[in-house]
Amino acid sequence: MENAIKNYEDVDSWKTIMFLYNAALKEVGTKLEILNDEFQHVHQYNPIEHIKTRVKTPESIVKKIRRYGYETSIENMVKYINDIAGVRLICSFTSDIYRLAEMIGNQSDLKVLSIKDYIKNPKASGYKSYHMLVAVPIFLSDSVVETKVEIQIRTIAMDFWASLEHKIYYKFEGNAPDYISKDLRECAQMVSTLDEKMLTLNEAIKKCLEEQEELEANEAKK
């Protein structure tokens, strides 16, 4: 994308880059909706509960570039900020997360640039989520530009915790008191326990229904 930027004046570059990121969100969002619909068609089950999309605000982008220690420029923005365009997938169960990640990785026109598994390796704060950085081709009238999109996949419980953590740390500007950080980590453990129990319960329900269907089928044969 860096080469495309150099062909524009600053104002046009900014507008063009924002256009590309918004277009990338539409492309990825449509793909995910189709995957979800296909899964419903084949398995009678939707792995995705919600899809959230957003493009970072200019203020947020500039703040992050400066925090990384780079000069504020369009080129640095595209090169170093990977989550300008973001998609968040909210699932019911942890098993859905890895199923979706595999499905996304199998898309031939999406290039997976990096993966960060904060579920198997949570952050020190207790944060859990599965992050995929992908590049999606945006077909313009005279060129094709690969544009980065960050996909975050998490359960409803993980998303609840992450949303509250973000609000709390935003209020304290990243310097929350130790006792609050400690309580947040404890809540993160509760969320993990809840996710594990809900997954176990879901598997037990599926097994029970399968046994019931098998029993009914055997009864029908008699």
How far is 158 from 129, CA to CA, in rounded Å? 7
**CA 94 to chain CA centroid, nearest Å:** 13
First to last CA, the chain: 66
In DSSP notation, 177-199 reads: -HHHHHHHHHHHHHHHHHHHHHH
Give residue-wise pLDDT tens across range 10-57.
Answer: 445 888 889 999 999 999 999 999 998 988 888 788 889 999 999 999
Domains in the chain and their CATH numbers?
2-161 (3.30.460.10)
Give residue-wise pLDDT tens across range 121-134.
Answer: 999 889 999 999 99
- For the residues 151-173, what does the mean pLDDT come to? 87
- For the residues 166-174, what does the mean pLDDT come to? 74
Rg over alpha carbons for the chain, rounded to the nearest Å, is 21
Give, in order, the Cα–Cα distances in Å from 38 to each of 26, 45, 111.
18, 9, 21
Per-residue b/e over 144-162, b at no fewer than 16 CB within 10 Å? Answer: ebebbbbbbbbbbbbbebb
- For the residues 65-82, what does the mean pLDDT come to? 90
